[in-house]
Structure 1
Amino acid sequence: MDAKKLGFGDLTELGPMEDWPIGRLFAAASRLAGPVMWRLIEQHGTSPAGFLVLRTLVSEDGLRPGELAKRLLISPATVTTVVDTLERKGHVERRRDDRDRRSLRVHIKDSGLAVVKVTGESMKDDIWNLYDVVDEEDEPAVRRFLLRLIARFEEQTDDDLAERIVNEAPLVQKPPRKPKETPRDGDDGTTP
């Protein structure tokens, strides 16, 4: 396959977005997803990095800072800064490892659990509104595409990293799908 069909090369040759190759469209959506999610988290009163540390500790409490850094794909220095802030706010605590007194482990506290729960609940509708763009009849095809893409990426990724990414708990539980409303006579701006 040539570079143009993959979405590489001179981007001006790709034409309008509707004509872009699937890979290029997926990359564009992926790049936009992160900043949008961070903004949503911030709007609900939590720093994105702090929220991700807390979410990780919900499923794996008592990690070492280096383990947190690996799981979140961030630097150990960033973990230290984020954990310092979370500790000051009373959301986590550092404790000496019982088996290796030189090592510290980070544990989530009740207030940290509450932050994850409240933030997740308050963001639920916003998140699902973002992703509720696939018509119900198209969902099986989109699902097959994404599952195949995940499998392909897993082949190219460190096994432990891929497993953690895929198996991580969802940010929030999916609410039941709301039926699409169809305009009634007069509701679409026309006169019956």
Structure 2
Amino acid sequence: MEPLARFPDLLRNAPMGRLVSVAGHLVDQHWGRYLSEHHGLSTAGMRVLFILARAGETTHRAVADRCFVRPATLTGIVDTLERDGFVERHRDAADRRTVQLALTDKGREHVQALFDLIHTDTPLTSVDADPAKRAVIREFLTELIVTMSDGEENRLNPSHQESDEAGPGGRTC
């Protein structure tokens, strides 16, 4: 069955921003299920492991800052990672109030397996299996990420657009 056969008009006529939003949501759900079923991790847990892999042993507060969460929010995530043998905590010898986090061997193994998987660059669909289409998709997504992360609020705020009828990317929604 053709992928659009289930939702032909709904997807064919949807604004680009809506398609990107729905696709991102579905990819997050799929990835979350994969992490849970194959690695015993949540997406938040994976993020912590990747941060620790890059930073090495670091403070609980520094990891929370890099995850854009409060230290109290990170505590539950680290509790689970520690319980499952991915990370270890210990007090800083110089300042006993400071908690240091570090990967265990199991944590390092899972980070490496996930890193290898992410970097296989296996096509996600038949469309991105075509190198020419893949290049266009990559260019679009890269520009979208840069545009949305550079604080260009006017992209989503019609009052800053040249035309009040234009939506994201100048298209009508």
In the superposition, the TM-score normalised over structure 2's length comes to 0.67
Contact 1:40 1:123 in 2 (8 A): no
Contact 2:49 2:107 in 1 (8 A): yes
1:109 aligned residue: 104
How many residue pairs match? The answer is 142
> For residue 34 of structure 1, what is the amino acid of its counterpart?
D
After superposing on structure 2, the runs of 4+ consecutive aligned residues of structure 1 that deviate more than 6 Å are 122-125
Contact 2:86 2:103 in 1 (8 A): yes
Residue 140 of structure 1 and its aligned partner are, at CA, apart by 2.1
Contact 1:92 1:106 in 2 (8 A): yes
Could you tell which deviates more after superposition, 142-151 or 86-95? 86-95
Q: Distance in 1 between matches of 2:143 and 2:123?
A: 24
**Equivalent residue in structure 1 for 2:84, among 80, 89, 101:** 89
2:15 aligned residue: 21
Q: Distance in 1 between matches of 2:14 and 2:79?
A: 44
1:71 aligned residue: 66
Instruction: State the secondary structure of the residue aligned to 1:128.
Output: coil
Instruction: State the secondary structure of the residue aligned to 2:124.
Output: helix
Residue 22 of structure 1 and its aligned partner are, at CA, apart by 1.3
1:142 aligned residue: 137
Residue 64 of structure 1 and its aligned partner are, at CA, apart by 2.2
Could you tell which deviates more after superposition, 26-35 or 45-54? 45-54
Residue 76 of structure 1 and its aligned partner are, at CA, apart by 2.8
1:59 aligned residue: 54
2:124 aligned residue: 130
Question: Percent identity at matched positions?
Answer: 32
2:75 aligned residue: 80
Residue 120 of structure 1 and its aligned partner are, at CA, apart by 5.0
